[in-house]
Amino acid sequence: MNNWNEPSWLAQYRDGNVIGRAQALAAYSEYYGLDGSGDLDPECEERLGYSPQPLTAYASRTGTKQNLDAMRKAGWRLLVSAAGVVRTEGFQYALDNGAWSSFTQGRPFDELAFGRALDKVGEGADWVVIPDCVQGGLASLEFSLKWMDRLKGFPERLLIAVQDGMVIDDVRPYLSPSVGIFLGGSTAWKLETMEAWGVLARRRNCYYHVGRVNSARRIAKCAGASAHSFDGTSVTRFSKTLPRLDGALNYATEQNDLFAVAGKDVQDTPFDCRWPLPANGSIPTVFRGF
């Protein structure tokens, strides 16, 4: 982390001279008993129930005008990567840390690129993925927590990337309305644990995003798991896939699954978050082919 330069605008938030959305949300949530503290304290009763939000779609940034125009008309947002061209194209957007790109290219995490991206567009992002180590398990969580300490006072939501090797109780204490979940990891592990992370997000009243979602069936799975948003590359590469995926998004948002965690009250969600799923470690048949 010695190569990282703090964003020029961060100090004003950390010092309390400017109040960001994350700080305002934290204060509001604490006042109304929605800060997630009731999750660990059985004596604490949350005074208001959980209010689910519509599922939001993000697509990886592209420079193709046709694809951008199609995404803009459909109301999709951009996921800008610190490892790519850091430009928002006039969209609402979120910022990925670029760790996945570094991993696939066999390079170490690029702290300088992340710092530059954070300085340029981090202040206006919907949320930012805290740096992580792809396929790093608990070592990745430790790495992310060090970065979270560095980013104290950040004005928008920060998301912890969860992946193979982590369990619910490893992450639970760090989640709040200001710090949420980015579900990464292998495809098999992601599908196996998606609902469990959704239960945890409801109990901690935190934001929940699912990465690498490129099919209608997986969009439906995200909605059923109470995710707030997802991202994918299909629409980025091929604008012709947008109508099908956007139709799936609209259907998943409008048609509630009565058996899904998204339709249950907070008090009806189990403390163990139904972890692990399933007990034998295999992927349920209904999830195969996603």
Q: What is the CATH number of the domain that holds 103?
A: 3.20.20.60
Give 123's DSSP letter. Answer: G
d(CA 78, CA 69): 12
Look at residue 20 in the predicted model and tell me its pLDDT: 94
The tokens of 53 are what? 């939000």
The tokens of 132 are what? 């992580």
Indicate whether 22 belongs to any domain. no
Q: Which residues pair with 209 in a beta bridge?
A: 182, 229
Indicate whether 35 belongs to any domain. no
Indicate whether 59 belongs to any domain. yes
User: Taking the C-alpha atoms of 181, 184, 188 and 194 in order, what is their torsion angle to the nearest 10 degrees?
Assistant: 20
Structural domains counted in the chain? 1
Look at residue 281 in the predicted model and tell me its pLDDT: 42
Give the type of residue at 137. Answer: G
Range of the domain at 146: 51-287
Which residues, at least 6 apart from 22, have a Cβ–Cβ distance to it below 8 Å?
Answer: 154, 155, 156, 157, 158, 178
Residue located via tokens 């490129």: 214
d(CA 191, CA 183): 10
Indicate whether 37 belongs to any domain. no
Which residues, at least 6 apart from 166, have a Cβ–Cβ distance to it below 8 Å?
Answer: 137, 138, 140, 141
Q: Which secondary-structure segment (H or E) carries 73?
A: helix 65-74
Indicate whether 41 belongs to any domain. no
Give 185's DSSP letter. Answer: S
Look at residue 280 in the predicted model and tell me its pLDDT: 44
Indicate whether 45 belongs to any domain. no
Look at residue 167 in the predicted model and tell me its pLDDT: 96
SS3 229: strand
Report the Cα–Cα distance between both ends of the chain, in Å, rounded.
37
Look at residue 282 in the predicted model and tell me its pLDDT: 42
Q: Which residues pair with 183 in a beta bridge?
A: 162, 210
Average pLDDT across each block of 10 residues of the chain; the chain has 290 residues. List them in order. Answer: 82 94 91 83 63 86 91 95 95 95 88 95 97 93 96 96 95 95 93 93 93 94 93 89 92 71 72 70 36
Give 164-215 pLDDT, tens digit per residue: 999 999 999 999 999 999 999 999 999 999 999 999 998 898 999 999 999 9
SS3 95: strand
Which residues, at least 6 apart from 179, have a Cβ–Cβ distance to it below 8 Å?
Answer: 148, 157, 158, 159, 160, 206
Indicate whether 23 belongs to any domain. no
Look at residue 63 in the predicted model and tell me its pLDDT: 86
d(CA 193, CA 38): 23
Q: Contact 200/175 with Cβ under 8 angstroms? A: yes
Look at residue 46 in the predicted model and tell me its pLDDT: 59
Indicate whether 43 belongs to any domain. no
Give 240-261 pLDDT, tens digit per residue: 899 999 999 998 877 766 566 6
d(CA 13, CA 11): 5
